[in-house]
Chains A and B, each alone.
Chain A
């Protein structure tokens, strides 16, 4: 991401001269009203407003309604709809092969919390540089409404039958898995989602966004704790959040002492406006405590839950060069003739 980025100049085009249309995708085939559509809109808006070149973005996904959505935004980015639960590993390979890519992973709660839970956790351990979005609806949308592993115990499916297995809290899991950027949003809260997405795009490492995204067809009924109404009513915001790019004029002013600034590596800032409490996202313990409390009360904590500024992404840790690996040829990669002679000598 370029540091010389300029603010959006006109309403029609962003700083690299592209219109919002340039960030769109094919028409969505999601059910009308599906939360996933709002997230797609959020994603393309975030990239548009930041002025990121779509050519630089690699859209990775697994399998599910959520995982289909990359076709519906950023049509001029490469996309890879992989297999169920394996998006994180495929994304890892792409991120290592070419450090210049902005790797955007889109997954679902089935894709990440069940079949792909191992891959999700281990990509966090590796701190692969990517934006990792789970479009969380507590159900398997694409296979027509079975419970997912994020469905609360006792909540009901579209037949009215209760879920008897305990739920996984993905941000909690992310934190204990070593993830250094953990947030939760809600497809119904566009402003918060945009700020979180922009910050995630700027993060050096794996940025995890658990976005509540109601499935209007299979999980939007009164017995569900993932319905639009339920999430809206139980949304426990940690703060109001603004994302301020480096060198951008600050246009959201809060009174001194009423906010907390969290700086990202490249100098951009997440400005967190205090609400009921003074929440410190750098404290793992506080984060886990708040999540556990909310989990017990079946509330939905949203905002920047945990942020560790000491994040070294995987490519950096592996000392990879800045150039994409495919740019190297035999000249750089093939050891010399002398090296081979030397090698053979050591096996004589």
Chain B
């Protein structure tokens, strides 16, 4: 192959390993090192629903233009998994680079002459240098990291510092990792002549200075801590478990008072119905409370969500979406719970959703969710997904929130002392349908009321009276319809005058942003509206009205976002075009671009 022009910080590396072999640590180190070099990098961990032995892929994309969506296919493939290498190899992109473990894969399989091959005796290197079997398995990963380091000029000093920081309390681990890294580096130096054009290069230091690398779940957990959440009921489920687990660890750090009191209560419940039951009980009694789950858990929470809606209890529910059901593809991503949640509960129920697109928004919207829930006295769903929740993302630093908590309309003893009556489910004309509530334990004769589903009048008395039922339901509708006042506004990008619009929520942001650039390069001007909440702000309708055609981007088969728009914005349908695609992977910008041209007929 002829020497081509150098390609710097603008390619993808895909590493194929098996889960349970410790490759995650090597892969994260690579990602962190790139981040510290000031490079724009994004990472996707494609892992199986399994603990040990099944294939996983880790893909790191670097982009000079700052793109962070996942590319299908990679310029560099590192094949370490014996079980998948043949297929991985055959599927490797044309003219790509393949690095493989020559001890466990047979050379004759690597037959393609468009590919640059770098055989590495990874298994042998690990076994000659390390004695313990477990170490051999683990450090083999660091050896390939060393090879990557030398082959593509990843800054070795930075990489070593990342290793030192990751194991700062374990000097022995640092030592063995550093020596494994150097084994990889040295092997390449002594045995391999570089024939490919790919290079990592340090960028201007300031590029990632005000950034961090974090998972959406950790950001949601921290947002909950800052947002004043004190009670959590949860049941483990991928991909939401790490949200609850991060919350636990942050509470241990930030919420234990000097005299050892815990200003938080976390219960790992027996199932999702109990999880949400705990949260509803706590919200009713005045604590800010949340649960974190995924689609299967949401399904189980349906009835209690309906109760919370009718009883008007503030709760926050995190849904980190995945492919369902339990034996679906639980470790793959999707935005497939939108229509389920929009009307979760039986009867006429309507739910509030927030859509963060990145860890910083995860932090901000999570904190805000508790204000919104208390202000509106209703469940608030923070909608994330596996891609956003569990992958490491470069994110802008989080800003310290300064505003006070908005606890909503809670009447204390002092307030009641000034009142003649307390009507739990009555709201005046100016109240946007939001009534006042009291908390159990309030020491006043007016305070008590009886909480139940929809069968009650303004004074919380049981009734089956048709008028009372209807009045209550219409007030709830008003509360929902006017909720946008306190919900975050949509973000609009692009030229106002463009006649082609794109709408998408959450983590499709990265692919849409990139695809818009490609469309623009092809002479197609677009503007882009990203709702941060549901029900939609009036701006969404105005946006659609100002366009000739609007492409709605859905990471699901059935165009769920489009359906929500269609149902909630009357007469919008004729302008809407649907890009609805899901195969479990994050959205690809190239595919979106191609399909967008077709769908928009441009």
Contacts and interface: CB of A to CB of B under 8 A. Distances in A.
Interface of A: 53-56, 58, 60, 70-71, 75-83, 86, 88-98, 100-101, 118-119, 121-122, 126, 314-315, 318-321, 324-326, 328-330, 332-335, 337, 339-340, 343-344, 347-348
A55 B443 contact: yes
A93 B230 contact: no
Nearest to B226: A334
Given A55-B444, A320-B265, A89 B273 contact: yes
Given A89-B274, A94-B281, A101-B441, 18 more contacts: A55-B442, A78-B441, A79-B449, A80-B311, A93-B233, A93-B281, A93-B283, A96-B231, A96-B265, A96-B282, A119-B274, A324-B286, A325-B287, A329-B405, A333-B225, A334-B225, A335-B226, A344-B397
Contacts of B280: 82, 89-90, 93
A89 B269 contact: yes
Q: Which secondary structure dominates chain A's binding surface?
A: helix
A120 B405 CA distance: 35
Contacts of B553: none
A344 B398 contact: yes
Contacts of B344: none
Contacts of B265: 96-97, 315, 318, 320, 325
Which of B274, B283, B303, B449 has the most chain A CB atoms closer than 10 A to its own CB?
A: B274
B284 interface: yes
A138 B228 CA distance: 44
B55 to A, nearest CB: 29
For chain B, the bracket of interface size reads 35 or more
Contacts of A71: 450, 462
B287 A96 contact: yes
Contacts of A100: 441
B263 A321 contact: yes
Contacts of A319: 260-262
Question: For B213, B262, B273, which residue has the most chain A Cβ atoms within 10 angstroms?
Answer: B273
Contacts of A70: 450
Given A330-B405, A343-B222, A89 B233 contact: yes
19 contacts: A55-B443, A81-B450, A92-B278, A93-B278, A94-B282, A94-B440, A96-B287, A97-B231, A98-B439, A118-B270, A315-B265, A321-B257, A321-B263, A326-B287, A330-B404, A330-B405, A334-B226, A340-B398, A348-B213
A333 B228 contact: yes
B566 interface: no
Given A53-B443, A318-B262, A335-B254, A94 B274 contact: no
Contacts of B442: 55
Contact of B278 (A90, A121, A315, A330): A90
Given A329-B228, A330-B405, A334-B228, A321 B398 contact: no
Interface string B24-67: 00000000000010000000000000000000000000000000
B448 interface: yes
B593 interface: no
Interface in B207-235: 211-214, 222, 225-226, 228, 230-231, 233
Contacts of A98: 285-287, 439-441
Contacts of A326: 285-287, 407, 439
Contact of A325 (B230, B448, B450): B230
Contacts of B407: 326
Interface in B243-265: 254-255, 257, 260-263, 265
B228 A77 contact: no
B282 A97 contact: yes
A294 B267 CA distance: 36
A124 B450 CA distance: 25
Interface in B152-211: 211
Contact of B303 (A56, A83, A91, A318): A83
B277 A78 contact: no
B447 interface: yes
Contacts of A56: 441
Contacts of A90: 277-278, 280-281, 284
Among B270, B289, B398, chain A packs the most CB atoms within 10 A around the CB of B270
B228 A93 contact: no
Given A78-B448, A79-B448, A86 B274 contact: yes
Nearest to B265: A96
B451 A81 contact: yes
A347 B214 contact: yes
Nearest to A93: B281
A328 B401 contact: no
B231 A325 contact: yes
